[in-house]
Structure 1
Amino acid sequence: MHSEDAVAERPWGALFEGDRADGAIYRDPALFDAEMDRIFKQTWVWVAHESELPGPNTFKTGNVGTSPVLITRDKKGEVHVLLNRCRHRAASVCEKKKGKQSVFVCPYHGWSYDPDGSLRKVPHRWGYDENFDPADYPLFSLRVEQYAGMIFATFNADAPPLEEHLGAARKWMDLFMKQGGGFGVKVLGQHSFRFPGNWKIQLENTTDAYHFPIVHKTFLDSLDEETENVFDVLGQGGWVEDLGNGHSVMVMIPSLIDLEADLEAPIPDRFADLAAELAAEGHDDMTVRRLVRAVGGTGFNLNLFPNVACSMAFFRVLRPIDVETTEITHVAIGMNGGESVGPANRARIRLHEHFQGPMGFGTPDDAEGWERVQRGVRAGEGMPILVNRGVPAPEGTAEPGHDAGDVSSEVGMRAAYRMWKRMMEE
């Protein structure tokens, strides 16, 4: 039997049942290969924010699962996601992270492509017969759709429309984008790192409040009393909610779900100097209040299956490398308002550095936990991984009919694994 056929017949879905998973879910290389085919090549995968392609002929490079891609905006303003692979001998056509250019030239034999993927020129074309037509050899193009400024791509021509896939998560995406403070959201920068662990370990983390006061004690100890009270996430009536299709939301600070609500409330003392600086830039009182509120981020984390989180005040993107290696990219976001919102964006970056930055208080501690899960799961063959925590959500919080639990519950993990199971059994 062909090895690929053997992999296809493995009962992968049985590795997750109800509220527990087999440890092989993090360890099996054949399972990882199957996930790349059945999940990352079948569903919508986040690739960029619209602000990363600010004008015609701009681009960034990225990945859909383990496939390198080129995300472009052509001269007409249309967005494309193209395999970063020359149609001739498979060399990558771009190695830059981002930029602006009107043509991509393969460095091996000089085949050149327009930003929409069409083959522009083949050097020494006389070496091909008269039936050779460049129109037959564009860069491979994935389906592309957008919602709330987020750009997604899929290999699957039969995948449901993006908005259908996002479903109930769209409400939360709209709320998250209010961090633009009325000016729209803009990517300010990003940094990436790898950890020696399976991609699903990080997927679980985004809607896991249970670990927060334990893993992030050093972060909490670094805060002033006012801010520490805000981050008492287990004591503010929050919840975790299954939004369908593997997506989930964890509400940690219910008062900050809608950043445009209750703008008349007093500005926190820690933002008083920022408010004065923004007023000096000429912003009126209500704009100042919107910007100050946006600086602190939302009160929730939104997990979009399978690879991106809208996490309080940044995007967290996971990239599976192999069964025991995952790359994480933290994307800092701010307000797209030019110099007049500069003070607010500087404050956002300082907050990002404090927790998410490479030398911050949060990211190194999270990464240590993820690595130790991967190391520990090698012991105790047959012992299940438990995702069974959860008492009912506070009354009047989650949407009726949605599976939900209190903020420390593992509803989000169960939501992701139910979708994982469904896709691995299809």
Structure 2
Amino acid sequence: MSSTDFAEMVREDRALTPLYTDPGIFDVEMDRIFRNTWVWVAHASDIATPNSFKTSYVGREPVIVTRDKQGAIHTLLNRCRHRAASVCEKRKGRASVFVCPYHGWSYDPDGRLRKVPHKSGYAEDFDNSDFGLVTLRTEEYNGLIFATFKQDIEPLVDFLGSARKWIDLFMKQGGGYPVRTLGEHRFRFPGNWKIQLENTTDAYHFPIVHKTFLDSLDAEAENVFDVLGHGGWVEDLGNGHSVMVMIPDLIDLDDNLDAPIPQRFADLARELAEEGHSDQEVRKIVRAVGGTGFNLNLFPNVACSMAFFRVLRPVEVDETEITHVAIGMDGGPKAANRMRLRLHEHFQGPMGFGTPDDAEGWERVQRGARAGGDQWIMLNRGTDAPEGQAEAGHEAGDVSAETGMRAAYQMWKRMMTA
């Protein structure tokens, strides 16, 4: 399939159905997109100490994200240079060396080959420095760690561009403490990765798909989650990134701290005060516990979604793995982190109201896409954004607009035709 074919499959406001169903297109995506851009692999708190690591993926390729004893961060292909066995199978932990279980080749956390057993079996000019683990270019922004196979790519800060402002706002959920990951759960759905990518900036589905969640809330909280009724917007941030603002009053968590504390957080506020936190600290922490009022989509594989990270991993054309990562306050009050987890469980958790409903929707899209392969996926919804909200020069629409999806598919088109 040629670049011309890919160009014709995505128009300004629509995309052809084979983008969900064609295994050949999926294989090209893994090369032209996931091997040629910055891909999120970990949060800094996952590898907070020297010699710590977390296993992850860049597209379909397994990697190990490490922090060496000097504190430098590395992303290494999880493949022994000898006969290709994986050298690490644990999700995360600490290790001063990675040893291949097949023939015992060992590697330092920075990827250098440390030792080869019975080395006399090799030629005299065998040089360990020629056989370290393959290293990807790795950079960090505000705790988010990204890696790429493309060594001459633009710096991460340039790739993130206008999204950096929103990352900084999202990280205020530390409530004055550093943000750290609290735990994660992982599941798969039988559908294409782009279906989930679309979902992060899709407010249109919220009152329909998540009616059971809304029914579970008290009147005050239900009003907060009236995502179509607060004058929000969706904004194209460039490079396939987008933001969907659902609750404009919760963009900057440091704003309006004198506002009344919501009733659902009254017990938490009382407990924090009894622990000796000042009134201002209590308000800052409580505001952080409730999360932000926006979803930030970072192309191609991670979302900073109100109060958690959602990471997608393409497995096959019709199979995607999703990881929901709960976040909290590193060194913050136990009561605050406990409530963060309870709120996460209520919606995003495996037994929550939101995740199962979303997953069924994604599965139905994939099932329906098997009918009418010549049909267009429509991405044309949206009226003008509220005046003065979006950054000048950015395409934007009202909160139910499909602006974010159009942004992602234009980046898809750009990379698939490069």
Class of the TM-score when normalised by the shorter of the 2 chains: over 0.9
Report 1:124-273 matches (<5 A): 124-273=118-267
Residue aligned with 1:234, SS: coil
What amino acid does structure 2 have at the position aligned with 1:155? F
Q: Does 1:121 align with 2:119?
A: no
Q: Distance in 1 between matches of 2:172 and 2:311?
A: 20
Q: Distance in 2 between matches of 1:11 and 1:229?
A: 46
Q: Distance in 2 between matches of 1:43 and 1:49?
A: 18
Distance 1:107 1:8, change over 3 A: farther
Deviation by residue 1:42-64 (Cα, 9 ceiling, x = unmatched): 00000011000110000000000
Q: Does 1:359 align with 2:351?
A: yes
What amino acid does structure 1 have at the position aligned with 2:366? Q
Instruction: Give me the TM-score of the superposition, normalised by structure 1.
Output: 0.97
* TM-superposed deviation, 1:15: 1.1
What amino acid does structure 2 have at the position aligned with 1:234? L
Give runs of ≥4 in structure 1 deviating > 6 Å: none
Aligned to 2:85: 91
Aligned to 1:306: 300
* TM-superposed deviation, 1:383: 1.4
Q: Indicate the percent of aligned positions where both proteins have the same amino acid.
A: 73
**Contact 1:319 1:328 (8 Å CA) reproduced:** yes
Residue aligned with 2:33, SS: helix
Equivalent of 1:415 in 385, 407, 410: 407
Aligned to 2:361: 369
* TM-superposed deviation, 1:196: 0.1
* TM-superposed deviation, 1:158: 1.6
Q: Does 1:37 align with 2:31?
A: yes
Equivalent of 1:394 in 377, 380, 386: 386
Q: Does 1:344 align with 2:336?
A: yes
Deviation by residue 1:53-99 (Cα, 9 ceiling, x = unmatched): 11000000000000000000000000000000000000000000000
Q: Distance in 2 between matches of 1:209 and 1:269?
A: 25
Aligned to 1:18: 12
* TM-superposed deviation, 1:396: 1.1
* TM-superposed deviation, 1:162: 0.3
Q: Distance in 2 between matches of 1:147 and 1:21?
A: 32
Matched length: 418
**Contact 2:4 2:417 (8 Å CA) reproduced:** no
Q: Distance in 2 between matches of 1:132 and 1:106?
A: 19
What amino acid does structure 1 have at the position aligned with 2:226? D
What amino acid does structure 2 have at the position aligned with 1:291? I
Residue aligned with 2:85, SS: coil
Q: Does 1:379 align with 2:371?
A: yes
Q: Distance in 2 between matches of 1:297 and 1:235?
A: 18
Q: Distance in 1 between matches of 2:210 and 2:119?
A: 61
* Structure 2 residue runs without a partner (length 5+): none
What amino acid does structure 2 have at the position aligned with 1:206? T
Q: Distance in 2 between matches of 1:52 and 1:282?
A: 30
* TM-superposed deviation, 1:184: 1.3
What amino acid does structure 1 have at the position aligned with 2:166? W
* Structure 1 residue runs without a partner (length 5+): 1-6
* TM-superposed deviation, 1:10: 6.6
* TM-superposed deviation, 1:203: 0.1
Deviation by residue 1:111-132 (Cα, 9 ceiling, x = unmatched): 0000000000000001001000
* TM-superposed deviation, 1:11: 2.1
Q: Distance in 2 between matches of 1:362 and 1:270?
A: 19
* TM-superposed deviation, 1:356: 0.2
Equivalent of 2:95 in 97, 101, 111: 101
Residue aligned with 2:171, SS: helix
**Contact 1:8 1:34 (8 Å CA) reproduced:** no
Residue aligned with 1:310, SS: strand
Aligned to 1:406: 398
What amino acid does structure 2 have at the position aligned with 1:375? R
Q: Distance in 2 between matches of 1:122 and 1:108?
A: 12
Distance 1:9 1:245, change over 3 A: closer
Q: Distance in 1 between matches of 2:125 and 2:7?
A: 47
Aligned to 2:21: 27
Residue aligned with 1:255, SS: helix
Q: Distance in 2 between matches of 1:126 and 1:234?
A: 70
Q: Distance in 2 between matches of 1:75 and 1:96?
A: 19
Residue aligned with 1:208, SS: coil
Aligned to 2:416: 424
Aligned to 1:4: none
Residue aligned with 2:101, SS: coil
Q: Alignment RMSD, CA only?
A: 0.8
Equivalent of 1:51 in 37, 45, 54: 45
What amino acid does structure 1 have at the position aligned with 2:312? L
Q: Distance in 1 between matches of 2:2 and 2:336?
A: 51
Q: Distance in 2 between matches of 1:113 and 1:400?
A: 49
* TM-superposed deviation, 1:279: 1.4
Q: Distance in 2 between matches of 1:141 and 1:347?
A: 39
